[in-house]
Structure 1
Amino acid sequence: MSYVGPDFDPPQPRRSRRRVLTVALAALVPGALLGWVMYEAVGGDGGSSGNAAVQPSQARSDTAPTDSTTSDDKPPGPTPTTDSTSAPAASGSLKGKVVVIDPGHNPGNFQHTSEINRKVNIGTNWKECDTTGTSTNDGYSEAEFTLDVAHRMRTLLEKQGATVKFTQDGDRSWGPCVDERAEIGNKAQADAVVSIHADGAGAGQRGFHVILPGKVDEGAASTGPIVAPSRALGERIAGSFVRVTGNAPSNYIGDGTGLVTRKDLGGLNLSTVPKVFIECGNMRDSKDAAQLTNGAWRQKAAQGISEGIVSFLRG
């Protein structure tokens, strides 16, 4: 997400071949992540982190949501353990389940710097309301990326019967602030909240990572009840993201697990429902950027995140 400020911010077995494969997949996820650690140790790229805030670029022509996940530019990495073009593994309806998708930043934030720079209470201290986010070197903004992935996720999750709500849909001139983003999920009594981002680290730093809430009990922040379910949500998303996209966990944070715990993010600290962030890749690395700007890959990213949510909600 590369904020300018610090707040950058198994399914139950069934006696069918499909569910057996699903359970086997869940068991293999830690191994898949460990395998990526070995891959990165042998041939991965390294580098130092860095952040950048930019203005939104001209919209890309391939941003329209599509159900197709076929791509000729499959990212490097091990072969997924199951067909990445399949529908979510678990069957049945998510009717009655509420998912809140939080597309990070807002395309209009750069025009409202005074508003987004004002401080809000995140429980432990005060942080900036929001930031502009980062972009690729060619100017494709994080805010454009997060909205596109969010739209694709909504289509997939609504097909499963879930009620999907957004914290913003490009329908407001700036924001919302991080405290309001958390409040939207809380008021919706969401069963799961996922905040979509892309990082702005240094070139050579690649891969995704999922940010989990740490245990915080200070001021307005009391995350104790959501720490365990949020971790379960994050683990399901990380495993599905590896399987569907074929992408490695981050080689610069998370020790190769794709999971990072933080206590300084208002969007997590103020949440009273299970919530995680996902940094889908590094916009400042040319290889990651080539994927993040590709519509077919974004569909895979949306599918990977959505399948993790579905798996979590079905227990």
Structure 2
Amino acid sequence: MHPEPRRRVRGVLVAVLLVAVVAAGAAGWFLRQAGSDGAPSAATPGGGSASPTPSDAPTGHGAGHVPTGHARLSGKVVLLDPGHNLRNRDHTAEIARQVDVGNARKECDTTGTSTDDGYAEASYTLDVARRARALLRAEGAKVVFTQDGDRPFGPCVDERAALGNRVHADAAVSVHADGSAVGNRGFHVILPARVTAGKADTSEIVAPSRALGTEVAGRFKAATGSAPSNYLGHGTGLDVRSDLGGLNLSKVPKVFIECGNMRDPKDAAQLTDPQWRQKAARGIAEGITDFLEH
């Protein structure tokens, strides 16, 4: 037997084993850098994986939109007023307190209405307002809420108006849903009448509020496919009122939108649908945007 060939064979085997060890180590390192789906895992600065999307984050069209270079509403302030408050029902004495709305005295607030299945108007208004806020922020607007589910009740209608005045809102929209008779369907936008009584003077906001309401009504109809109210506004989707403290006491352009009738089964089916609510929010946000760009 010749020893030299054996040494050559042993050398080849050692080299092969070394290559295999190095390759296995490299593969393990790459796997440790990859997430469970094979892509690098997202991490937060403090370690761990990135936080999931919040449960109340808007979904559907426009969700997650980030402005790309041109924030159309940069420098604009929008007040969103989610009507009522889910906790009002636990504070009936407080919300029954009378407040001055200029030409009358009215309740601080009310509980609002609900669908026959118990979906509260206050839940609807807060959800749609949050969705609209995300869309408006994506266009660069500063969005102020009158309440964000963070109050024990209210605020009162005079406080809602006062907040818009205090932040010098460029536009203010109060989000609601109606509680009318079955068969009454569709949306309508409420505009302020000319009221000059007591501390109320809407003289300066009647015209711009009509312009705001017209834009919101048009965009809401286009986004949702919903028809204007068949019981108010004579088919225009616009109604004028002088008895709402949130409008009477406003010094900035402001409207209410009643997005549908919660007591009508067909309207209720839309109002309880998250995808439809996203469309409603888009219509409101686009109407505000059109008004502020003109």
Partner residue of 1:108 out of 83, 87, 90: 87
Once the two structures are TM-superposed, the CA of residue 125 in structure 1 deviates from its matched residue by 1.0
Letter in 2 for 1:69: H
Partner residue of 2:197 out of 208, 218, 222: 218
Once the two structures are TM-superposed, the CA of residue 65 in structure 1 deviates from its matched residue by 3.5
TM-score, normalising length: structure 1 = 0.73
Once the two structures are TM-superposed, the CA of residue 87 in structure 1 deviates from its matched residue by 11
In 1, distance between residues paired with 2:199 and 2:258?
Answer: 26
Once the two structures are TM-superposed, the CA of residue 66 in structure 1 deviates from its matched residue by 2.6
Identity %: 64
Letter in 1 for 2:73: L
1:118 aligns with 2:110: no
Letter in 1 for 2:190: I
1:69 aligns with 2:61: yes
In 1, distance between residues paired with 2:119 and 2:244?
Answer: 25
1:246 aligns with 2:225: yes
Q: Which has the higher helix share?
A: 2
Letter in 1 for 2:177: A
1:65-144 matches, cutoff 5 A: 65-69=57-61, 92-144=71-123
In 1, distance between residues paired with 2:58 and 2:76?
Answer: 23
Partner residue of 1:165 out of 140, 144, 163: 144
In 2, distance between residues paired with 1:101 and 1:126?
Answer: 24
Secondary structure at the aligned position of 2:204 is classed as helix
Letter in 1 for 2:134: T
Partner residue of 1:174 out of 153, 161, 166: 153
Letter in 2 for 1:227: V
Once the two structures are TM-superposed, the CA of residue 93 in structure 1 deviates from its matched residue by 2.2
Say which one has the larger Rg: 2
Partner residue of 1:201 out of 176, 180, 185: 180
Unaligned runs of 5+ in 2: 1-54
In 1, distance between residues paired with 2:229 and 2:267?
Answer: 11
In 2, distance between residues paired with 1:66 and 1:178?
Answer: 27
Q: Say whether the 8 Å CA contact 2:66–2:138 is kept in structure 1.
A: no
1:250-294 superposed Cα distances (whole Å, 9 cap, x missing partner): 000000000000011000000000000000000000000000000
- Report the equivalent of 2:4: none
In 1, distance between residues paired with 2:197 and 2:56?
Answer: 42
Letter in 1 for 2:91: H
Higher relative contact order (CA closer than 8 Å, sequence separation 6+): 1
- Report the equivalent of 1:301: 280
1:234 aligns with 2:226: no
1:147-170 superposed Cα distances (whole Å, 9 cap, x missing partner): 000110010000000000000001
Q: Say whether the 8 Å CA contact 1:209–1:249 is kept in structure 2.
A: yes
Partner residue of 2:270 out of 281, 284, 291: 291
In 1, distance between residues paired with 2:284 and 2:224?
Answer: 10
Q: Say whether the 8 Å CA contact 2:80–2:146 is kept in structure 1.
A: yes
Q: Say whether the 8 Å CA contact 1:233–1:309 is kept in structure 2.
A: yes
In 2, distance between residues paired with 1:187 and 1:136?
Answer: 34
Q: Say whether the 8 Å CA contact 2:58–2:130 is kept in structure 1.
A: no
Task: Name segments (4+ residues, structure 1) moved above 4 Å.
Answer: none
Q: Say whether the 8 Å CA contact 1:65–1:148 is kept in structure 2.
A: no
- Report the equivalent of 1:33: none
Letter in 2 for 1:152: R
In 2, distance between residues paired with 1:267 and 1:92?
Answer: 29
Unaligned runs of 5+ in 1: 1-62, 71-85
In 1, distance between residues paired with 2:226 and 2:80?
Answer: 22
Q: Say whether the 8 Å CA contact 2:71–2:138 is kept in structure 1.
A: no
- Report the equivalent of 1:36: none
Q: Say whether the 8 Å CA contact 1:117–1:128 is kept in structure 2.
A: yes
**Count of residue pairs brought into register by the alignment:** 236
Secondary structure at the aligned position of 2:153 is classed as coil
Pairwise CA RMSD: 1.7
